[in-house]
Chains A and B, each alone.
Chain A
Amino acid sequence: MRYRQSSDLTRCWGRPVSSDIRAMTAELASNPDSLVFLELGEALRRRGQLYAAAKAAVVGLERHPQLADSHDLYARILVDMGHLQQAYDEWQATVELDPQHLGAHKGLGFLCYRWGDLDGALEHLELAVAADPMDQSVVQALQMVRGAAAELTEAPEEPQQSVFQGLDGAHHGLLLFDTRGRVLGGGMSSHLGEDVSRDVAAYVSGGCQEADRSSRILELGDWRWMVLEGPGGSMHVSRSPSNTLLLVARDGSVPSGRLAVLAKRAAEAARQWLEAQQP
Chain B
Amino acid sequence: MSEQFKQALDGITRVRGVRGALMVTDDDGLIIADAVMEGVRGDAVAALAASLSARMAKATVGAGVGEQHFLHLQAENGTLLSMPAPNGVLIVVLAENDVNVGLVRLEMLRAVEAVK
Chains A and B touch each other in the complex, with CB atoms below 8 Å apart? yes
Q: What is the interface of chain A, defined by CB distance below 8 A to chain B?
A: 188-191, 196, 199-200, 203-204, 206-207, 209-211, 213-215, 217-235, 247, 249, 251
- Complex contact A214–B52 (CB within 8 A): yes
* Contacts A210-B56, A219-B78, A235-B65 supplied; 8 other A-B pairs, CB < 8 Å: A203-B56, A207-B59, A213-B48, A220-B78, A221-B75, A221-B76, A221-B78, A247-B63
Known contacts: A203-B56, A206-B55. The answer to whether A226 contacts B72 by CB under 8 A is yes
The prevalent SS among residues of A at the interface is mixed
CA distance A90 to B116 in the complex (A): 47
Q: Is B64 an interface residue (CB 8 A)?
A: yes
Known contacts: A218-B80, A225-B74, A230-B69. The answer to whether A196 contacts B52 by CB under 8 A is no
B65 to chain A, nearest CB (A): 4
Partner of B66, one of A203, A204, A226, A232: A232
Give the residues in chain B near A204, CB-CB below 8 Å: 56, 59, 63
A-B contacts, 24 listed (Cβ < 8 Å): A189-B64, A196-B62, A203-B56, A210-B55, A210-B56, A213-B48, A214-B48, A214-B51, A215-B75, A217-B44, A218-B41, A218-B45, A218-B80, A219-B78, A220-B77, A221-B75, A224-B74, A227-B74, A228-B59, A228-B65, A231-B69, A232-B64, A233-B66, A235-B65
Partner of A230, one of B44, B65, B78, B80: B65
Known contacts: A203-B58, A217-B44, A220-B80. The answer to whether A190 contacts B74 by CB under 8 A is no
- Complex contact A210–B48 (CB within 8 A): yes
Number of contacting residues on B, CB 8 A?
32
Known contacts: A226-B71, A228-B71. The answer to whether A249 contacts B44 by CB under 8 A is no
Known contacts: A200-B59, A220-B80, A223-B75. The answer to whether A228 contacts B68 by CB under 8 A is yes
Partner of A210, one of B52, B68, B72, B78: B52
B54 to chain A, nearest CB (A): 9
A260 to chain B, nearest CB (A): 10
